[in-house]
Amino acid sequence: MTDALLTVEDLTISFPSDNGPVPVVKSISLTVAREIVAVVGESGSGKSLTGRAIMGLLPCRAHVRASRMLFEGIDLQTLGPAGWNGLRGSGMGLILQDPKFSLNPAHRVGRQVEEALLLHTKLSARERKQRALDMLARVGLPDPERVYASYPAALSGGMGQRVMIAAMLINRPMLIIADEPTSALDRGLQDQVLTLLRSLTEEFGMGLLLISHDLQQVSRYADRVIVMRQGEIVERLPASELAQAQTAYTRGLWAARPSFATYGTRLPVFEDSGRPS
């Protein structure tokens, strides 16, 4: 697709070991335009590390090399800490799995939703509050004034995830990386949150890199799919064709649909036959 917001070429991530560096992401290339690109693959295939590398959030032990990592013309490999801070609050956002770990329990919701505006804009306190209340309403939270004044402990999981999305989108980033954004929620809430993410992505003209275990869900919400295995991209296909995937590996992932009951348990890793081990 043309007009890529993000271009990654030949990205390799390795960790040191006694026997030298061990690559866990191996020379992968991808682009994201104003669309939803899903990254799927078995546990340990390198999905989260890929997302974190794009956000500059890898553990410091990790060694990253790429022939290109461009976001809106910015060379991500040359950014220093100040450059990253500027970009993360305004150009790119990360949504993680569980609001319990992403929201600070000691601060009211309003302050956390406004944080990107405080750090990256010159809006007045009154303007920030108005933007936060608008965004809380926009993500479907009833009674935004009450949510704004609440502490995270007062929110259900689904409400917490909507607050996280509001906090990420308030400064209108161009690219969102969502790492399993709904796997801590029950099935009905998952669909609501993904429907919301999909419509906001379209409305704001954003790109979304959606990391997920759930291929059947991805087939309904994404535009394109990248399939990873052992640090490599093994298949690329339109989301609408996932059900007819040709490789045994992707078919195995399609059949191994995670459920709320398996949340928190280890998902199958596939043998070379493509069958769960």
Ligand X SMILES: Nc1ncnc2c1ncn2[C@@H]1O[C@H](COP(=O)(O)OP(=O)(O)OP(=O)(O)O)[C@@H](O)[C@H]1O
Total site size for ligand X, rule CB under 6 A: 12
Asked if residue 89 binds ligand X (CB under 6 A), the reply is no
Among 7, 12, 48, 97, binds Mg ion (CB under 5 A): 48
Among 5, 7, 12, 46, binds ligand X (CB under 6 A): 46
Asked if residue 47 binds ligand X (CB under 6 A), the reply is yes
Asked if residue 12 binds Mg ion (CB under 5 A), the reply is no
Asked if residue 212 binds ligand X (CB under 6 A), the reply is no
| Separation of alpha carbons 94 and 52, rounded Å | 9
Asked if residue 263 binds ligand X (CB under 6 A), the reply is no
Which residue, 59 or 105, has its beta carbon nearer to ligand X? 59
Asked if residue 15 binds ligand X (CB under 6 A), the reply is yes
Asked if residue 112 binds Mg ion (CB under 5 A), the reply is no
Of 37-45, 64-72, 76-84, 136-144, which segment contacts ligand X by CB under 6 A? 37-45
Between the alpha carbon of residue 184 and those of residues 27, 188, 275, the distances in Å are: 31, 12, 26
In sequence order, the 6+-apart residues with CB closer than 8 A to the CB of 190 are 182, 183, 217
Please, are residues 51 and 39 in contact by the beta-carbon 8 Å criterion? yes
Which candidate, 173, 266, 183, places its Cα nearest to that of 218?
A: 183
Asked if residue 41 binds ligand X (CB under 6 A), the reply is yes
Asked if residue 20 binds ligand X (CB under 6 A), the reply is no
Asked if residue 49 binds ligand X (CB under 6 A), the reply is yes
Closest CB 76 distance from ligand X, rounded Å: 18
Asked if residue 218 binds ligand X (CB under 6 A), the reply is no
Which candidate, 107, 106, 113, places its Cα nearest to that of 138?
A: 113
| Separation of alpha carbons 186 and 43, rounded Å | 20
Among 7, 12, 48, 201, binds ligand X (CB under 6 A): 48
Return left, alpha or beta for 46; rule: phi > 0 is left, psi -120 to 50 is alpha, else beta.
left
| Separation of alpha carbons 165 and 262, rounded Å | 24
Which helix (H) or strand (E) covers residue 23, if one does?
strand 22-32
Closest CB 144 distance from ligand X, rounded Å: 33
Copy the structure tokens of residue 80: 């220093």
Return left, alpha or beta for 21; rule: phi > 0 is left, psi -120 to 50 is alpha, else beta.
beta
Of 41-49, 108-116, 196-204, 217-225, which segment contacts ligand X by CB under 6 A? 41-49
Q: Report the interface residues with ligand X, using CB under 6 A.
A: 15, 24, 41, 43-49, 59, 213
Q: Report the interface residues with Mg ion, using CB under 5 A.
A: 48
